[in-house]
Each structure stands twice: as C-alpha cells, then as structure tokens.
Amino acid sequence: MKDCHMANTELDRLVIRRANEADAPAVLRIFDEIIAWFVEIHNQGQWGSEPWSTQPRQVARVTEACSLPGAWVAEEQGGPVRAALVLGEAMPYVPAMTEPELYVRLLVASRRSNYRGIGRHLMAFAEDQAKLAGVKRLRVDCYGGGSGALVQFYESCGYERICAFDVDGWPCQLLGRSV
C-alpha cells in the first residue's frame, strides 16, 4: 500500500483548519479553476463545463458542505484557500458499511503546480482523522469515467476498487481502504 504522505516545501506552509460557510466562495473558485482545466482537456463529463460559482444549486451544495462538522480547508498561512476536504458519513447513493467508517465526501484541490501533492496531503490528513476517531475504514467515491485518472489517484493513495455503479448517468467508482 502506498503512503499518501508527501514532502513538499509549499505543502509544509499550508495550514489545515476547520472550514465554515464563509469558505464557500474560495472553494467555489477552486471548482471553477478545475472546471476550466477540464474544459481544456475535454473532460466535461465529470462536472460539466459551466463554473460552479454561477450555478445556484452548486453554490448551495458547496456552502452546505463547508458548514459540515467534518469540513476542512488547506490554506497558506494568512493566505488563500488552496484545497477542501469534507469527511463524514457515506453518501446516500453508496452501499452501506457494516462497520464504522469515515467517508471522504469531498476532495478538491488547486491545480497550481506549486501545490502539486495537496490532494495526497489531505488524503493523509483524512487517514490521520480516521485513526484519531478510532475508525479502521475509509471510503471515497469518485468519477469513474474519462481517462480513469481520478480512480488511479485514489489507488495510488492505497485505496482499492469496491464497485462501480451509475448515479443518474454519472459513472461512479467506490473505493476503500483499511487504516
């Protein structure tokens, strides 16, 4: 199993703190940045082609996610938010677990090259949070279409494929790992 902990001087300067509703605009900017990149690489299947900050439904979803008790953001000390992570209960559309778990409900990170590895950094943080909570299982779901790069990212963090399924026409891959 590969370790998601990475050494990077830029990452060392990041502070992970609890998120709140006021962080939603910054998190939406990250979504918009990624969607612009998806349009460039012809990957509109994942989140569409329109900035989330212009879609009331997505603004509401991100605002709600930022206000959840398991919401975190990574930011430069005193600077802008560069990534967000939301941990909690499993999404309602995935098969239920029979043992306690921590579920990665959201992971979004800036594409800026000087923050390469921030997603891995937050996945390692998720593992630490699971250990602190005495939970031995982590799961995550992600876009299972396109090139498969997102599934491969989670696999590179030690997650294994559990099952693939469709959520209203969106290909989904469920993955999990023991901690």
Question: Which one is predicted more confidently, 107 or 12?
Answer: 107
Structural domains in the chain, CATH included, are 9-139 (3.40.630.30)
Residue pLDDT, tens place only, 29-74: 999 999 999 889 888 888 889 999 999 999 999 999 999 999 999 9
User: What's this model's pTM, rounded to 2 decimal places?
Assistant: 0.90
Instruction: Say whether 48 sits in a helix, a strand or coil.
Output: coil
Distance CA 56, CA 69 (A): 22
Distance CA 16, CA 77 (A): 9
pLDDT higher than 90, residue 171 = yes
126 sits in which H/E element? helix 118-132
- Contact call for residues 129 and 101 (beta carbons, < 8 A): no
**Average pLDDT of the chain to the nearest whole number:** 91
pLDDT higher than 50, residue 6 = no
- Contact call for residues 48 and 35 (beta carbons, < 8 A): yes
pLDDT higher than 60, residue 5 = no
pLDDT higher than 70, residue 169 = yes
Residue pLDDT, tens place only, 119-157: 999 999 999 999 999 999 999 999 999 888 999 999 999
Question: Which one is predicted more confidently, 13 or 31?
Answer: 31
Quickly state the pLDDT bin for 78 (edges 50, 70, 90): confident
Residue pLDDT, tens place only, 80-95: 899 999 999 999 999 9
The percent of residues in the chain predicted with pLDDT above 90, rounded, is 73
Segments of 19-169 assigned E as strands = 71-76, 81-88, 102-109, 137-143, 160-167
